[in-house]
Amino acid sequence: MAVVSREFLAEDAAIGARELIEYCYAQGWTDGLPVVPPIREFVDEFLALTDRDPAEVLMVQSHLDRACTVRAVAINAVMAGCRPELPGTRRRGLRASSSPVQLKRGDGRSALPNC
């Protein structure tokens, strides 16, 4: 049985994390700032905090032909490094308005306050 030091495991984990961050950058998901890759397990931790359908639309940007779903909020929270147990993330992100918010050009609201 081989003995593996904590130092080796930490270094290996850091290299793996860097590779994942670089992958996110190559996909255009970040501008180079570190991100947490949104693996299913992490996203599901956020989705478990709400009874809302992950496909439910929370926000619409008509001028960009885009919509933000509950799942998209969870994915962005994970990538931003938010922790699911933070009250602001649960309350404001996944328990947003009961009807979609209509954003107009120049409206700089964030879907994830207090991460």
CA distance 43 to 47: 6
pLDDT digits (tens, 9 = 90+) for 74-104: 998 888 888 887 655 444 555 555 555 554 5
Closest to 57 measured CA to CA, from 88, 104, 92, 102: 102
Does the pLDDT of residue 54 top 70, yes or no? yes
Mean pLDDT score of the chain: 75
pLDDT digits (tens, 9 = 90+) for 15-43: 888 888 888 889 888 887 778 888 899 99
Taking the whole predicted model, whether its pTM rises above 0.75 is answered as no
Residue 1 confidence (pLDDT):
52
